[in-house]
């Protein structure tokens, strides 16, 4: 055991279940089941995290009432005995990896979508779900559940818990955070009932207390029960106050719940300029809420809490996690996205290899890909996540090759890293003086704190894998041929596109502004994609007068919904003007002349005009070599570009082909 973390890595108990350390993998939906059934991809996903050293695995949100309670089409289901065999396999692979297994059980309630469940969603009351950061939309008004229906759903939770026990799980977690039914019953704005299930704190917690009682009756006291609880619901529509959260925690402790995973629920009205996206979340951000719960129970009962609290939130930093437990702020640490990007995170901490942990940059693609696009989770750092069968094995190459990778952005580095791990001799060439490509600009806008962690990680991986890095080496086709490599990977990136209008030579590119180029007081950004909006955000924060001109009706449309919502809130907070469905037609010495959708001419004062109309692939080197070299690949932005997860996946795939 790493002596730096004696508390984090020491055993702990949740009910009668002893964990090998104090780390808990938080439940995170992957949407990769086969019609609710466990498949090979699900098994491999959780096996990798269990083998990676975590103390307990809480399996992703699992539906107790299909289809009415579904979240996505790929959600796991446990509302029938037919799911038990697959769940038994899942519990077994988690136990084989040395971790304890818990199953998160849930109903989506009013957060469900008619397109998925085929009917009107249900909820405690006929109150539509407000705009949610995670869902990215307001749902239709749900049908109010009758008392008989509520009791039937309570029974479904208890039946699901019994199936989990029969399958070999050590316990269950009741999901009461976010837009799920558990939180909806606890919220005074979502639950406006006046019967036994609403109207007071005591009545709003009744749904949970009944579920716990029914689980105990069916499963006994030796089967652990955790509640994932919103102890406060933030936002203009928030309906759980801190006193509410303390009361709910106290009642759950009294009911014999074995642990509470402490979080905050969040709805959004219009986020302001100080609202932080996930890319700037502080480490262990939910731990202070654990202290609130502990202090609240002591204050209201005169006795210290007896229920273990699970705190976390961006808990990849082991030093902060260790301090949280050592100081008694919480008893366990939950880790979410950190374990998606780095399955063996806890093992690396235990072995003193913290510098090998790939950071979660907080891009939000894992959530966005599921809830906005109906797909499976993807990751900007982990190419394997929810792809195929989630097979993490890297097979040694049968024939060792001399490999040249041209371009040290994220795609090129991933290709080089995987190729080297497979036994190839790899040289990586970069025209500029530093590695990481677009990441060197992506971390410059405000609130991109965690993007800054990626470059040191990439450099360390190149060291560990023995890739020989050559910076400041711009190679042409003849140079590449002279390397006499057995295989060549082209990852030369892209170049900013230019809108060909009169006066365009007066404009600067967004990348220049992000890199620190001077800007005047009056700035016009042409192009309202993510780069244009983030550049405007930076300029607005600097106190400049900024206008964004976008030809479509959507700003930052290529950004994940959560990040997009916050980014647009920042633009508003920094008083950035936005003109959508507006086309820039001419740039003069002191203005930009535009035309709106109705044909009206608009003149915008501008000392600086920023061009942010996208990128075009730089495939010139590949085109010059594709008929000259037998084994050659083109990946990343030079192959069409896209989001970071796509670049990493292409690099990983090519590295395994070599």
pLDDT along the chain (658 residues), means of 10: 96 98 97 97 98 98 97 96 98 98 97 93 93 64 97 98 98 94 96 97 98 98 97 82 97 98 77 83 95 97 96 94 97 98 98 97 88 87 95 96 98 98 98 96 94 97 98 98 98 95 97 97 98 98 98 91 88 97 97 97 98 96 97 96 91 98
Which residues lie below 8 Å from residue 238, measured CB to CB, with a gap of 6+? 187, 189, 232, 265, 267
Run of H or E including 649? helix 644-657
Six token digits for residue 84? 């038990």
Backbone angles phi, psi at 88, to 5 degrees: -65, -40
Count CB-CB contacts under 10 A for residue 119. Answer: 10
- pLDDT score for 134: 57
In contact, 225 and 174? CB cutoff 8 Å:
yes
Do the strands 17-19 and 12-14 form a parallel or antiparallel pair, or are they unpaired? Answer: antiparallel
- pLDDT score for 138: 64
Return the axis-axis angle of helices 147-166 and 84-96, rounded to nearest 10°: 50
Domains, in order of start, for the chain: 12-371 (3.20.20.70), 402-495+616-657 (3.40.50.720), 504-613 (3.50.50.60)
Q: Torsion angle, CA of 237/242/247/253, rounded to 10 degrees?
A: 110
**What distance lies between CA 195 and its chain's CA centroid?**
38
Question: Does the CA dihedral 446-451-455-457 come out positive or negative?
Answer: positive
| Cis? peptide before 314, omega within 30° of 0 | no
Q: What is the 8-class DSSP label of residue 438?
A: T
Question: Does the CA dihedral 51-55-56-57 come out positive or negative?
Answer: negative
Alpha helices, DSSP H, located in 422-496: 439-442, 454-465, 477-482
- pLDDT score for 100: 98
Backbone angles phi, psi at 187, to 5 degrees: -85, 130
Alpha helices, DSSP H, located in 97-205: 114-117, 147-166, 181-186, 201-204
Q: What angle do CA 132, 133, 136 make, to 5 degrees?
A: 70
- pLDDT score for 165: 98
From the list 157, 180, 197, 649, the catalytic residue is 180
- Is 457 in the active site? no
Backbone angles phi, psi at 379, to 5 degrees: -140, 140
Run of H or E including 207? helix 206-219
Backbone angles phi, psi at 206, to 5 degrees: -60, -40
Please give the Cα distance from 274 to 524 (Å, whole number). Answer: 23
- pLDDT score for 370: 85
Nearest alpha carbon to residue 175 among 266, 271, 265: 265
- pLDDT score for 236: 67
Run of H or E including 489? strand 487-490
The β-bridge partners of 509 are: 611
Please give the Cα distance from 636 to 643 (Å, whole number). Answer: 9
Question: Does the CA dihedral 111-113-114-116 come out positive or negative?
Answer: negative
Please give the Cα distance from 292 to 249 (Å, whole number). Answer: 11
- Considering the entire predicted model, what is its pTM? 0.96
Do the strands 582-587 and 577-579 form a parallel or antiparallel pair, or are they unpaired? Answer: unpaired
- Give DSSP secondary structure letters for 477-524: HHHHHHT--SEEEE---EEE-----BTGGG-EEHHHHHTT----SEEE
């Amino acid at each position: 055991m790493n002596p730096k973390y004696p508390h984090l890595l020491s055993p702990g108990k949740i009910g009668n279940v002893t964990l090998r350390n104090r780390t808990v993998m938080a439940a995170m939906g992957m949407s990769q089941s086969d019609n609710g059934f466990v498949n090979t991809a699900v098994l491999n996903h959780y096996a990798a995290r269990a083998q990676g050293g975590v103390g307990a695995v809480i399996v992703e949100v699992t539906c107790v009432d299909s289809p009415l309670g579904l979240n996505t089409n790929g959600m796991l289901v446990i509302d029938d005995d037919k799911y038990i065999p697959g769940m038994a396999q899942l519990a077994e692979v988690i136990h084989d990896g040395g971790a304890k297994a818990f199953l998160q059980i849930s109903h989506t309630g009013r957060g469900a979508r008619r397109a998925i469940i085929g009917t009107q969603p249900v909820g405690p009351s006929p109150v539509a779900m407000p705009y949610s950061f995670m869902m990215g939309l307001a749902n239709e008004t749900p049908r109010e559940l009758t008392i008989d229906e509520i009791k039937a759903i309570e029974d479904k939770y208890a039946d699901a818990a019994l199936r989990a026990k029969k399958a070999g799980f050590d316990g269950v977690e009741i999901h009461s955070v976010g837009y799920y039914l558990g939180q909806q019953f606890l919220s005074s704005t979502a639950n406006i009932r006046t019967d036994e299930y609403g109207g007071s704190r005591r009545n709003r917690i009744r749904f949970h207390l009944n579920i716990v009682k029914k689980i105990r009756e069916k499963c006994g006291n030796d089967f652990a029960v955790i509640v994932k609880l919103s102890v406060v619901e933030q936002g203009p529509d928030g309906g759980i106050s801190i006193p509410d959260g303390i009361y709910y925690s106290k009642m759950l402790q009294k009911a014999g719940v074995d642990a509470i995973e402490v979080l905050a629920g969040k709805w959004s009205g219009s986020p302001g300029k100080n609202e932080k996206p996930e890319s700037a979340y502080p480490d262990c951000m939910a731990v202070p809420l654990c202290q609130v719960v502990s202090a609240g129970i002591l204050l209201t009962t005169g006795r210290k809490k007896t229920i273990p609290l699970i705190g976390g939130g961006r808990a990849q930093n082991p030093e902060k996690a260790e301090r949280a437990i050592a100081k008694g702020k919480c008893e366990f640490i939950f880790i979410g996205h950190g374990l998606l990007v780095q399955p063996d995170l806890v093992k690396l901490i235990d072995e003193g290899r913290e510098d090998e942990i790939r950071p979660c940059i907080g891009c939000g693609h894992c959530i966005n890909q599921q809830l906005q696009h109906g797909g499976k989770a993807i990751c900007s750092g982990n190419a394997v996540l929810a792809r195929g069968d989630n097979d993490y094995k890297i097979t040694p190459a049968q024939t060792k090759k001399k490999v040249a990778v041209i371009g040290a952005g994220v795609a090129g580095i991933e290709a080089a890293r995987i190729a080297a791990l497979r036994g190839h001799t790899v040289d990586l060439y970069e025209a500029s003086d530093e590695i990481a490509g677009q990441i060197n600009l992506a971390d410059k806008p405000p609130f991109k704190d965690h993007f800054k962690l990626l470059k040191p990680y990439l450099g360390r991986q190149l060291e560990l894998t023995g890739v020989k890095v050559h910076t400041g080496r711009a190679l042409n086709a003849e140079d590449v041929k002279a390397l006499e490599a057995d295989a060549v990977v082209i990852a030369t990136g892209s170049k900013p596109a230019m809108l060909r209008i009169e006066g365009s030579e007066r404009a600067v590119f967004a990348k220049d502004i992000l890199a620190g180029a001077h800007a005047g007081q009056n700035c016009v950004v042409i192009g309202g994609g993510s780069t244009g909006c983030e550049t405007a955000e930076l300029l607005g924060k600097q106190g400049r007068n900024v206008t964004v001109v976008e030809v479509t009706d959507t700003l930052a449309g290529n950004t994940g919904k959560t990040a997009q919502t916050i980014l647009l809130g920042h633009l508003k907070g920094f008083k950035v003007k936005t003109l959508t469905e507006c086309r820039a037609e001419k740039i003069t010495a002191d203005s930009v002349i535009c035309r709106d959708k109705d044909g009206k001419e608009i003149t915008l004062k501008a000392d600086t005009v920023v061009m942010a109309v996208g990128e075009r692939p730089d495939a010139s080197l590949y085109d010059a070599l594709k008929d000259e070299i037998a084994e050659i690949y083109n990946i990343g932005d030079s192959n069409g570009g896209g989001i970071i997860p796509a670049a990493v996946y292409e690099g990983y795939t090519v590295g395994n082909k070599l």
